[in-house]
Copies of this chain bind each other. A is one copy, B any other.
Amino acid sequence: MSAAGGRAASAPLVGRESEPTMFELSSPGRSAAQLRETGIAPRALEAMIPAPHRRDDRLVTVDLAERDLVGHVTRLSARQYSVDLGAYPLGSCTMKYNPKMADEVAALAGLAHVHPAADASLTQGWLELLVTLEERLCGITGMAAATLQPAAGAAGELTGLLLMRAYHRARGDARRRVLIPDSAHGTNPASVTLSGYQVTTVPSTERGLVDLEALAARLGDDVAGIMLTNPNTVGLFEEDIEPIAELVHGVGGLLYYDGANLNAILGQARPGDMGFDIVHMNLHKTFATPHGGGGPGAGPVAVGESLVDFLPGPRPVRRGDGYGWEAPARSIGRVHGWHGNALVLARALAYIETHGAEGLAAVAEHAVLNANWLRRRLAAVLPAAFDRPCMHECVVTATALKEATGVRALDVAKSLLDEGFHAPTVYFPLIVDEALMIEPTETESPETLVALAEALERIVARAHDDPERVHAAPLATPVGRVDEARAARTLVATEDMAARAGLR
């Protein structure tokens, strides 16, 4: 017999058992679907699909009652941490509170029920929305124009690099290398590779910033550009951005801004004003479109004047009284199946419009205030990797703690779960040993920061008193530490693989 759909023992409220998969809950003959009355006569499959194409078996998916589906999914949700439950100080991820208002925007029938191929005359509202968002993003970044097509940050990176490539090509300039600091997020080098360029790594100084001399040494007229995050991934502002820009521009290269950390500088500084030519933004970070457990996101790319003609197309544009589509003259082409993650874009616009200029500046101020307060407060127990003012996040290191107690950054992170907080990012950036990358975001209150600091202090104290307990963490969670090695050794990625592996 299949598993019981009405037993809640996997909900942390009443139990610690595992939740059956929907396939274990499945029972042939059971069904939740209710299809409308159409009045259209059904036809025999045989009369429509000739034998060579016809499935000869029934495609078996799963057979659930609506009640059991609801129980299952609700219990799964109870097994999931989220911003709405508590703080999520995950560095580089900007897990701020996502205003619920945006959910209602995304649910508007007039936005949600529009076919992407409908003629522009029938989608004027959407086009105005997209054009407005593009203008706002350009205002925020200090750029000339933007494409809204990229579906996430990494897609934005690759788009931006292809723009860089097209720009150089158009000038008959076959450059080959792109510089990236060693602190960069892993998607940066991956995107460079996919764009057909080669990565040249630029080391960081002991201050956590780009090594200007090393940079200069790596420059040459085969350098297409540099990819920078500013503030960078250790949370520090690249104070030498002006000389960097001058150097790179000096050899004819372009500056690419990885905007994942834009939250720190909203209304304080603009990539365009720093000399960047190409900027991608992670709307799912800075502009509070919720992250969806891993996605969707949106990664618009804004560019300076000299790159506008290369933008992906078609682009939504103002046209007389209304709006239409236009392909840029030397467009690199499409980078999305349609027009980008439109509903994510609508959410971001809603966020920008509620905040306005002052509100966005206040966001950055409080993101930076929170991070610096935590950095200072934690100095005694988990010192910052670089002892200077940070921006929206701080990277601390557990190296000393490990040496003294054997407790590692990972153990601290897992213990934090038991304290009622999501863990920070660990072991990133790679240039910091035993890194814990903490990004509180501006929507966490000072009281929450104190509680978080106290929790970390308790954990560090416990590491000295009772390291075993810290190694054993987490204990309060639905499952304890997970055997990741086994998962990778014997891949069990589907219910059917589980059955073949004798796990069902």
Chain A interfacial positions (CB closer than 8 Å to B): 1-17, 25, 27, 30, 34, 65-68, 70-71, 74-75, 78-82, 84-87, 97, 99-100, 354, 417-422, 443-448, 450-452, 455, 474, 476-478
Can you name 21 A-B pairs with beta carbons within 8 Å? A4-B448, A6-B87, A6-B444, A6-B447, A7-B420, A7-B451, A7-B452, A11-B12, A12-B12, A12-B13, A13-B78, A14-B417, A14-B419, A14-B420, A15-B419, A27-B445, A66-B99, A67-B445, A71-B84, A74-B82, A74-B85
Given the contacts A4-B447, A15-B418, A74 and B84 also touching, CB distance less than 8 Å: yes
B65→A75 contact, CB < 8 A: no
Give the complex CA separation of A420 and B16 in angstroms.
9
What number of copies of this chain does the assembly contain?
Answer: 2
Q: Are A419 and B9 in contact (CB under 8 A)?
A: yes
In whole angstroms, how far apart are the Cα atoms of A443 and B85 in the complex? Answer: 30
18 additional contacts, CB 8 Å, given A7-B87, A7-B452, A8-B85?
Answer: A1-B450, A4-B451, A5-B445, A5-B448, A6-B421, A6-B447, A6-B448, A8-B420, A9-B419, A11-B420, A14-B86, A14-B417, A14-B419, A14-B476, A15-B420, A27-B445, A67-B97, A70-B100
Of residues A420, A452, A477, which shows the largest number of chain B Cβ atoms within 10 Å of its Cβ? A420
Residues on B with C-beta less than 8 A from A3 are 447
- Give every chain B residue within 8 A of A1 (Cβ-Cβ): 446-447, 450
- Given A5-B447, A451-B4, do A71 and B99 touch, yes or no (CB 8 Å)? no
CA distance A504 to B152 in the complex (A): 47
Q: For A418, what are the chain B residues with a Cβ–Cβ distance below 8 Å?
A: 14-15
Interface residues of A: mostly helix, strand, loop or mixed? loop
Tell me the complex Cα distance, A420–B79, Å.
Answer: 14
Instruction: Please give me the 7 A-B residue pairs with the lowest Cβ-Cβ distance, nearest first.
Output: A8-B86, A9-B420, A6-B448, A4-B451, A6-B87, A12-B12, A67-B97
Chain B residues contacting A448 (CB-CB under 8 Å) are 4-7
Residues of B within 8 A of A25 (CB): 447
Contacts of A476 in B (CB 8 A): 14-16
B5 touches A81 (CB 8 A): no
Compute how far the CA of A422 lies from the CA of B7 in the bound complex, rounded to whole angstroms.
Answer: 9
Contact (Cβ within 8 A) B443 A67: yes
Q: How far is the CA of A452 from the CA of B15 in the complex (A)?
A: 15
